[in-house]
């Protein structure tokens, strides 16, 4: 008994894109989102402008929401969680719990788009004082202030004179256990640095980095303008400690290009936190029996170039479920995952390839 329905789990950008495309390809879709509203991390965490030409996250993600929810073939369940999955590819029974009620959705295929969570910079990075100093914040905190067009020193409410970004917090770090690079933090920090300079023109902005991973067009669209037009100061260096001194922050470390120790006062320090699998990704991977890597991200099938197919027939993944990814990665892999779910249903229904 095969079903023409795809259940998409996760209503962020990837889940929305997979939903919209699967519906356009002729499938019924049930989109299950734990939060009360769609949009995923960019909406829940108040992202301001995206690295895509500094366009509004609300506008661009809003378009994805409109596309996904505009189809009569799509049933949206917000504030709902998948609690169990039985059956197999072609004939899954997906238990969805919402407000105390639970029912079962019959589905032929599942797309998992449960995404990432920001690395908690208080965990194992005590030298940065994230929970100790109000003026040590993380990328998502800076993003929310930038969205409100009110980038201030949190402890004083006044515009900062000196702002530092520290890269690779919770990434490229063996001690923390996250050896991978989180891919987007360099781009997002640089974007935010430009926005800080625009909102607080008198502020000096520094980015302390190991390598600036401004791949592809981020190089010419963000990195060069940050330096040339917005005078963001990039310092190849390692920050080992943040202290409070005379009502300000003091960052200590080494400027590796100059080959000398540094000790610099700052008003605001932004920790460029990396990506880890979200709790939803961990829970669903476990529940679905998906192979994961040592970091908890889901692995796709080996010995192929496929980016969305898992070890469980009928279950496809996209976005940051498989590891750190940018929005282009998320949207591309979501399209591929939604389409492969539909192709899987067609094959199961005996439609010739």
* Contact set for its own copies, span 158-177 (CB under 8 A): 171-172
Nearer to its own copies, 248 or 346 (CB): 346
Q: State both tokens at 280.
A: 């939803």
DSSP H stretches of helix in 115-234? 139-147, 185-199, 218, 224-228
Residue 13 three-state SS: helix
Question: What does the alpha-carbon distance between residue 87 and residue 251 come to, in Å, rounded to a whole number?
Answer: 55
Q: How far does Cα 201 stand from its chain's mean position?
A: 29
Q: State both tokens at 294.
A: 């040592």
Interface with its own copies (CB under 8 A), residue total 72
CB of 305 to its own copies, least distance (A): 5
Binding letters toward its own copies, positions 98-127, x by CB under 8 A? ------------------------------
Report 35-94 residues binding its own copies (CB under 8 A): 50, 52-53, 55, 59-61, 63-64, 71-73
Report 233-262 residues binding its own copies (CB under 8 A): 236, 256-259
CB of 264 to its own copies, least distance (A): 20
CB 251 within 8 A of CB 269: yes
Stretch that binds its own copies, among 108-116, 118-126, 195-203, 335-343 (CB under 8 A): 335-343
CB of 170 to its own copies, least distance (A): 13
Nearer to its own copies, 86 or 257 (CB): 257
**For helices 57-69 and 13-24, what crossing angle results, to 10°?**
30
Residue 43 three-state SS: helix
Nearer to its own copies, 284 or 325 (CB): 325
Report 6-25 residues binding its own copies (CB under 8 A): 13, 17, 21, 23-25
How long, in residues, is the chain? Answer: 353
CB of 304 to its own copies, least distance (A): 6
Locate the DSSP E strands across the chain: 5-9, 28-33, 74-78, 80-88, 91-98, 101-107, 109-112, 116-118, 136-138, 162-169, 204-209, 233-245, 248-255, 260-266, 268-273, 275-277, 315-317
CB of 274 to its own copies, least distance (A): 11
Among 180, 199, 204, 264, binds its own copies (CB under 8 A): 180
Report 290-309 residues binding its own copies (CB under 8 A): 302-308
């Amino acid at each position: 008994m095969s079903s023409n329905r795809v259940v998409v789990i996760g209503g962020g950008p990837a889940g929305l894109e997979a939903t919209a495309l699967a519906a356009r390809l002729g499938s019924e879709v049930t989109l299950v989102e734990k939060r009360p509203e769609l949009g995923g991390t960019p909406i829940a965490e108040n992202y301001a402008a995206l690295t895509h030409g500094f366009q509004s996250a609300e506008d661009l993600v809003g378009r994805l929401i409109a596309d996904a929810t505009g189809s009569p073939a799509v049933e949206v369940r917000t504030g709902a969680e998948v609690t169990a999955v039985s059956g197999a590819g072609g004939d899954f029974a997906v238990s969805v719990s919402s407000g105390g009620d639970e029912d079962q959705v019959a589905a032929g295929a599942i797309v998992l788009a449960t995404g990432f969570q920001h690395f908690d910079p208080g965990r194992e990075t005590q030298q940065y004082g994230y929970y100790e100093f109000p003026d040590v914040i993380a990328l998502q905190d800076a993003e929310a202030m930038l969205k409100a067009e009110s980038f201030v020193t949190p402890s004083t409410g006044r515009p900062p004179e000196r702002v530092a970004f520290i890269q690779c917090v919770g990434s490229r770090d063996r001690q923390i256990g996250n050896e991978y690079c989180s891919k987007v933090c360099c781009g997002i920090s640089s974007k935010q640095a430009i926005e800080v300079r625009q909102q607080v023109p008198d502020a000096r902005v520094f980015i302390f980095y190991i390598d600036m991973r401004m791949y592809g067009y981020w190089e010419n669209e963000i990195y060069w303008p940050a330096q040339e037009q917005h005078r963001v100061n990039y310092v190849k260096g390692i920050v080992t400690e943040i202290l409070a001194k005379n009502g300000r922050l003091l960052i200590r470390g080494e400027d590796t290009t100059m080959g000398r120790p540094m000790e610099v006062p700052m008003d605001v320090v932004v920790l460029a936190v990396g990506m880890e699998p979200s709790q939803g990704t961990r829970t669903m991977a476990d529940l679905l029996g998906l192979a994961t890597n040592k970091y908890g991200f889901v692995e796709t099938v080996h010995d192929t170039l496929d980016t969305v197919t898992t070890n469980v027939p009928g279950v496809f993944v996209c976005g940051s479920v498989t590891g750190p990814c940018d929005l282009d990665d998320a949207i591309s892999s979501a399209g591929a995952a939604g389409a492969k779910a539909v192709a899987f249903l067609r094959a199961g229904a005996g439609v010739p390839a």
